[in-house]
């Protein structure tokens, strides 16, 4: 087992990653660590995204923690932020029969302005097989044409990039840029990356399973939807 750290992984970020992977870290602390890592990602992207309209695509479990941190980290830099949140249900494939994992969208929240953003951030707590990212990104690029696509995660599995890029044409993949803090190269018997983010993200965040998390509506979505329906600017829509 080996972990490779990127140049973005400062000593404080390494400490956060270690606490994230620790089995004893309770859900409340785990959520806050995810928020902190998101904030660090936002800060790392500030210069690249200064003055741009930015879309952020995420899954339901990451919205209130990792993604809220990214939004706060970008505050004061970008011209606007739009959000798309997806509720995916993942079904395992069968490698022996060459059947890939799938992650169909069960439900979505998508702000109209995400169709016209300059840059798109696809955020995930960990990118392992990349099927969730592939599904959600495929959906978004049917409706939008961002000049850059930032694939953002605290941790990536070693072959996640190649798994993702083989699903898209070269005119899409040439826009990809990856921002992550650590890359791991081993999985456990139950297919969790080691050390990764400490196991199953749903359970680490306090959900029972993926069906439980798919019944959850993030506060980020509730607040932004409320403001859109009332005609107000969404929170941090102008960061």
pLDDT tens digits, residue range 46-97? 999 999 999 999 999 999 999 999 999 999 999 999 999 999 998 977 667 7
Hey, which residues does 120 pair with through a beta bridge? 55, 149
pLDDT tens digits, residue range 199-225? 999 999 999 999 999 999 999 999 999
* pLDDT value for 93: 73
* pLDDT value for 169: 94
pLDDT tens digits, residue range 84-120? 999 999 897 766 777 778 899 999 999 999 999 999 9
> In which band, very low, low, confident or very high, does the pLDDT at 1 lie, cut at 50, 70 and 90?
low
- End-to-end CA distance of the chain: give it in Å, rounded: 40
Q: What is the mean pLDDT of the chain?
A: 93
State the DSSP code for 141. H
pTM for the predicted model, two decimal places: 0.93
In contact, 123 and 62? CB cutoff 8 Å: yes
Cis upstream peptide for 98 (omega within 30°): no
**What structural domains and CATH numbers belong to the chain?**
37-179+213-228 (3.40.50.2020)
């Amino acid at each position: 087992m080996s972990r490779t750290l990127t140049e973005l992984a400062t000593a404080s970020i390494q400490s956060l990653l270690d606490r994230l992977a620790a089995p004893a870290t309770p859900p409340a602390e785990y959520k806050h660590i995810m928020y902190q890592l998101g904030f660090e990602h936002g800060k790392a992207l500030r210069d690249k995204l200064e003055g741009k309209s930015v879309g952020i695509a995420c899954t339901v479990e990451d919205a209130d923690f990792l993604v809220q941190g990214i939004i706060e980290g970008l505050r004061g830099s970008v011209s606007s932020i739009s959000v798309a949140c997806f509720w995916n249900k993942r079904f395992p494939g069968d490698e022996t029969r060459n059947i890939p994992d799938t992650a169909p969208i069960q439900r979505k929240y998508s702000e109209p302005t995400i169709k016209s953003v300059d840059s798109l951030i696809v955020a995930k707590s960990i990118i392992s097989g990349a099927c969730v990212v592939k599904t959600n990104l495929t959906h978004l690029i049917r409706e939008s044409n961002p000049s850059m696509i930032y694939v953002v995660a605290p941790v990536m599995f070693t072959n996640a990039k190649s798994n993702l890029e083989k699903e898209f044409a070269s005119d899409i993949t040439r826009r990809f840029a990856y921002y992550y803090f650590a890359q791991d190269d081993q999985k456990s018997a139950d297919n969790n990356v080691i050390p990764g983010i400490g196991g199953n993200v749903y359970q680490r965040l306090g959900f029972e399973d993926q069906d439980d998390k798919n019944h959850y509506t993030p506060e980020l979505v509730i607040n932004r939807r409320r403001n859109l329906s009332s005609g107000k600017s969404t929170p941090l829509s102008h960061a």
